[in-house]
Amino acid sequence: MATAGIVAEYNPFHRGHAWHIAWTRQTLGADTAVICVMSGHWVQRGECALTDKWSRAALALSGGADLVLELPTPWAMASAEAFARGAVGLLAATGVVDVLSFGSETGELAPLRAAAAALDGPDYPERLRAGLARGLSFPAARQAAVGADCLASPNDNLGVEYLRALPPGMEALTIPRRGAAHDGPAAGGFASASELRALLRAGRAVEADPYLPAPWSGETASMAHIDRAVLARLRMMDEADWAALPDGGVAEGLPARLARSARTADSLEDFLCPGQDQALPSRPAAAAGPGRLPGAAGGGAAPGGALCTGAGPQRPGAGAAAPHERDLCPSGGGQARPGQGSGWGRPRPL
């Protein structure tokens, strides 16, 4: 019997995710146990998840996972390298995961392993610096330094980082991405998570439902609900505060631009755009998001719990929660557990 590990955000959990779990079992054996490492309330793109982590974990369990572990916020909101290192490290710490299963655009391990080896090669830092000196953006300079086209694709890129983080004794299995491309329109019966988030936040759940395992019910969380509060906090930060953050971009002069942008921006979107730079990824929010503000204990979300969300998708025929589902839900604080009557639809603080 094999035990497979999967890393995901499930934001939201959709048919493509269920297919990934099923495909993993089909490949490794019907008795394969599946352990998922999932981001909590805050996700890598530097914003809150569409709905709370307990609802998303419950949907993953109903979609075929056997256990869902939370990836702590400092890793969940970090760069691809740190995200992968934290997630794979958590799977390795269980002591039972044999295989890491992940999706990729190439669907092949060989080119991803070659890119991983090149990134760890002794010549990589010098080649990267040379590309940046020529005026290339960081992603373009990184790809040129490695000479691997797969780094231009988001899932391939993350897969390379998974392989770099893979410990001895853990194998890798990659599944070719089906249907919709990352951040692309629906195709082949599958929709991307980004398209589903846009539909659900726009109140167009009926258009998203065909791509979800169950009809969506409840409200959705959005950074728009706390736009002014976060912007007010950002305006309190000076360059030293920004420079002290992980991935603060000191070498690129990012702290000064972010501090200046915070003082003049009218919204979070306005704040992010002026802070962008050719040498940096298009959204610096992973370093600047609310989960990474100075003073937030343990690198988690800023205290206060002001943001509330509906419970998210309703599981059809939900009765009493199974024991392993209840274990994933908090025992106190008035949080409703999945499947427990009307409590499943109550708002939950993020």
Instruction: Clarify whether residues 71 and 175 are in a common domain.
Output: yes
Give the pLDDT score at 274.
Answer: 54
Instruction: Clarify whether residues 159 and 251 are in a common domain.
Output: no
Which is more confidently placed, 91 or 254?
91
> Considering the domain boundaries, does residue 174 fall inside one?
yes
Q: What is the pTM of this model?
A: 0.75
What's the one-letter identity of residue 54? W
Residue 176 has pLDDT above 60, yes or no: yes
CA 138/CA 74 separation, integer angstroms: 22
Give the pLDDT score at 344.
Answer: 28
What share of the chain has pLDDT > 90, as a percent? 61
Determine how β-strand 67-71 pairs with β-strand 99-104: unpaired
Residue ranges of E strands in the chain: 3-8, 33-39, 42-43, 47-48, 67-71, 99-104, 171-176, 308-309, 348-349
> Considering the domain boundaries, does residue 39 fall inside one?
yes
Instruction: Clarify whether residues 204 and 247 are in a common domain.
Output: no
Instruction: Clarify whether residues 182 and 260 are in a common domain.
Output: no
Looking up residue 186, the CATH number of its domain turns out to be 3.40.50.620
132 DSSP 8-state letter: H
> For tokens 């258009």, what's the residue?
207
pLDDT tens digits along 243-270: 998 777 888 788 999 999 999 999 888 8
Instruction: Clarify whether residues 204 and 230 are in a common domain.
Output: no
Please report which confidence band the pLDDT of residue 278 belongs to, taking 50, 70 and 90 as the band edges.
very low
| Averaged confidence pLDDT in the chain | 79
Instruction: Clarify whether residues 232 and 183 are in a common domain.
Output: no
Q: At 129, which helix (H) or strand (E)? A: helix 124-133
CA 94/CA 136 separation, integer angstroms: 40
The answer to which of 92-106, 148-162, 245-259 has the lowest mean pLDDT is: 245-259
Instruction: Clarify whether residues 66 and 198 are in a common domain.
Output: yes
Number of residues that this document lists for the chain: 350
Range of the domain at 244: 223-272
CB neighbourhood size of 9 (10 A): 23
| Number of domains composing the chain | 2
